[in-house]
Amino acid sequence: MRTTRIGIWIASLWLAGTVIAGAASSPQEDLLKALAGSKHSLEEGIKQLAKGSEVAISGKFEMEDGHLSLSIYTAEKGLGVDAEHNVLKEFAGSPEAAEWNPKDEVFKDMAHVARASTQLTIMSASRFSLLDILAKAKKDQAGTIYSIAPLLRDRKPVFVVLVANGVKSVELCYDAATGSRIEPK
């Protein structure tokens, strides 16, 4: 009898854990749901940081410590100065307040410097700004644009744009040289 009770108790715990685990949402789902609380768009964040020679080289919404954050990477000295002689940084802050007041951080760690250097190189070689590509993406896909990044895909420079359409994410890809939309393979 005691063995049966222990078996039932263990099975109950396993079933409860399975139900709870199944109900948990993924980080991507949490981000897509949190976007509704933003009072600022990715486009607004990029425009806000366009001052002097500083230029945005990527941008995204992300979850930081359970809170929505708008993050824009910039090259302080513009596209005409290579990564080694530029100042690569991130501006990040909550987009849920009436004003977006990001804090800036100059990149010093290898991962961020490498990522921002690649983005700066692609942006420097392209005749398109992030805002140009965002305008194309708005026409191509309904929803909330929550990420734009210049990347290398199959050894080709592209802009990858992520759009939230409800609780689903849609990826759009644009050739960095021509601005043309590239269909996924």
Q: pLDDT band at residue 15, thresholds of 50, 70 and 90?
A: very low
d(CA 74, CA 54): 7
Q: Is the pLDDT of residue 23 over 60?
A: no
Q: pLDDT band at residue 174, thresholds of 50, 70 and 90?
A: very high
Q: pLDDT band at residue 24, thresholds of 50, 70 and 90?
A: low
pLDDT tens digits for range 107-145: 999 999 999 999 999 999 999 999 999 999 999 999 999
- The pTM for the full model equals 0.85
The pLDDT score that the predictor gives to residue 1 is 53
- In which element (H, E) is residue 124 found? helix 110-125
